[in-house]
């Protein structure tokens, strides 16, 4: 069964939204929208892991003024870029994270 144009557009919007607020939006999309959609599940899992990485980097670099914020911001902006690429319909692969998600069957 093929998806309607409207459903594909909705999926693309959810791909983008998963990366906007990383952990929060990724978890909401994973829990409520990704049951029958492997691609949406992949993007929501990647967004959650990207959010965890941001938190870990911020925590580790907390004592180094400005560096933690700059690196966290850059990772978040990369997530927005990835979300936009997914929205455009491109196959997105985040280094290490995509392989981790796929190899662990998340």
Q: For residue range 42-57, what is the model confidence (pLDDT) as tens digits?
A: 999 999 999 999 888 8
Placement of tokens 């829990």 in the chain: 31
**pTM for the structure as a whole:** 0.80
**Average pLDDT over every residue of 65-92:** 88
pLDDT of residue 47: 92
Backbone angles phi, psi at 94, to 5 degrees: -90, 125
Neighbours of 20 (CB within 10 A): 14
Which tokens is 85 given?
Answer: 């690429």
Which tokens is 9 given?
Answer: 């557009």
* Composition of the chain by helix, strand, coil, percent to 5: 75, 0, 25
Give the domain ranges of the chain: 5-103
């Amino acid at each position: 069964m093929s998806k309607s144009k409207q459903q594909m557009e909705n999926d693309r919007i959810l791909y983008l939204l998963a990366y906007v607020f990383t952990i929060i939006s990724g978890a909401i999309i994973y829990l409520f929208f990704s049951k029958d959609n492997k691609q949406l599940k992949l993007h929501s899992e990647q967004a959650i892991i990207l959010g965890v990485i941001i938190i870990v980097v911020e925590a580790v670099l907390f004592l180094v003024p400005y560096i933690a914020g700059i690196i966290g911001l850059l990772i978040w902006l990369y997530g927005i870029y990835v979300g936009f690429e997914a929205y455009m319909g491109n196959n997105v692969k985040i280094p290490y994270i995509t392989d981790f998600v796929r190899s662990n069957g998340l």
